Structure 1
Amino acid sequence: MLDTHGRKYVAPLIKSVANVFIRLHFTANTITKIAFLVGIFSGILAYFEKEILAVIILWISGLLDAVDGEVARSQKDTTAWGTLMDITFDRIVELSIIIGLGLRFPNSRMELLFLSSAIIISMTVFLTVGALSEKKGMKSFYYQAGVMERTEGFILFSLMILFNKYLSIITIIYAVLVLFTAFQRLCEAKKILDN
């Protein structure tokens, strides 16, 4: 929801950072790889009880994740390979946090497994609709908006890392919101794909 409706507010920052990378001759795919490497460290840092640093690193990776697309569009260099890398690396970053927290907090593993399952279900709907839909958006595939998008995920992951005393309850809330988003996207998909 925030990605869809709030992007206009952070677009100038994303454009500014993208222009720096363009001047330095970075390709969008290189930025995607940097965002990935930075992002997986958030899970490692969360495991080693470096909560504030983990959250800062997570958000830096999120900014770079937005910048890579801006660079690709600015240079008219969007590719299917770049899209595949971007989506795959996003999930691996999420898994690094889930695994890091799961290793550190064994009592919350069932809730973290529930969250992982919810993400798999939601992403299955999201990617299948994107593949089957003839509609295209700003991205190189049809992007279904929903209650839980990347920014909301980062907010909830940040809360999970920083307020780990309440890890189980925050994780359950996150998972329920992801499942709600999957249902929301299924309802929209029925309208799009039945025509």
Structure 2
Amino acid sequence: MIDTHARKWADPVIDKTADWFLKRRWTANQVTVLAFGIGVLTGPLIYFDAAWAAFVCLWISGFLDTVDGAMARKTRPSAFGTVLDITFDRLVEASVLLGLAFRYPDLMWLLLLLSVSILFSITVFLTVGNMSEQSGVKSFYYQAGLAERTEGFILFSLMMLFPSFLLYSTALFLFVETFTGLQRLLEAKRLLKEQDENAAD
């Protein structure tokens, strides 16, 4: 939701950073790899009780993840770049969840349920993006929802920085992610039905 409605406020900073990298002959894919390298440190940092360092790495990674997209649009977007971006995003999220699960094993069961809800939501998101004839800035149809990446990062941050409330923040994330998956599924039914009807005309 934040990504969809507040992106215009962040775009000037994102564009300036993209230009900075482009002037130094970085490619979008190289920034994607950099974002991944920083983001994947989050899990080990959580496990070794360096929550604030993990927080910083997560948000730098997330910011660079928006910069690589801006760079691709300023040059030439590549299909492989989209695959790389989406894959590395999921691996960064997995790093956070694994770090939390091993740091707080008593809540591993709830974190596992959260992982399933994220898998559910992203499966709907990617399947609809692949099947829809519409497209957007990410080279496929982008389904907005209650929980987009920024909301996920905010909730991950609460989970990392306030472990005494981890049960409640994880449960909240689970609810929000499940709701988003169902929201996207219902939108997919409407969107693809309209697409099929238009194809039949």
Superposition TM-score tier, normalisation by shorter sequence: over 0.9
| In 1, Cα distance between equivalents of 2:45 and 2:10 | 26
Deviations 1:80-135 (A, max 9, x none): 11111111100100000100111110011011001100000001100000000000
Q: How does 1:137-176 map to 2 (within 5 A)?
A: 137-176=136-175
| In 1, Cα distance between equivalents of 2:80 and 2:167 | 36
Structure 2 partner of 1:63: 63
Amino acid at match of 1:14: I
Structure 2 partner of 1:194: 193
Q: CA deviation at 1:187?
A: 1.0
Deviations 1:36-65 (A, max 9, x none): 010001111111111111101100000000
Structure 1 partner of 2:45: 45
Q: Would you say the 8 A contact 1:46–1:101 is kept in 2?
A: yes
Aligned Cα root-mean-square deviation (Å): 0.6
| In 2, Cα distance between equivalents of 1:169 and 1:88 | 28
Structure 2 partner of 1:93: 92
| In 2, Cα distance between equivalents of 1:23 and 1:175 | 41
Structure 2 partner of 1:121: 120
Q: How does 1:31-42 map to 2 (within 5 A)?
A: 31-42=31-42
| In 1, Cα distance between equivalents of 2:154 and 2:11 | 18
What SS does the corresponding residue of 2:167 show, helix, strand or coil? helix
Q: Would you say the 8 A contact 1:18–1:68 is kept in 2?
A: yes
Q: Under a length normalisation based on structure 1, what TM-score does the superposition of the two structures give?
A: 0.98
Equivalent pairs, count: 194
What SS does the corresponding residue of 1:11 show, helix, strand or coil? helix
Structure 2 partner of 1:135: 134
Structure 2 partner of 1:178: 177
Structure 1 runs (4+) deviating above 2 angstroms are none
Amino acid at match of 2:85: D
Q: CA deviation at 1:178?
A: 0.5
Amino acid at match of 1:70: A
Q: CA deviation at 1:172?
A: 1.1
Structure 1 partner of 2:29: 29
Q: Would you say the 8 A contact 1:114–1:172 is kept in 2?
A: no
Structure 2 partner of 1:14: 14
Q: CA deviation at 1:79?
A: 1.2
Amino acid at match of 2:108: R
Q: CA deviation at 1:164?
A: 0.9
| In 1, Cα distance between equivalents of 2:178 and 2:110 | 14
| In 1, Cα distance between equivalents of 2:192 and 2:122 | 17
Q: Under a length normalisation based on structure 2, what TM-score does the superposition of the two structures give?
A: 0.95
What SS does the corresponding residue of 1:141 show, helix, strand or coil? coil
Amino acid at match of 2:179: F
| In 1, Cα distance between equivalents of 2:189 and 2:55 | 37
Percentage identity across paired residues of the two chains = 51
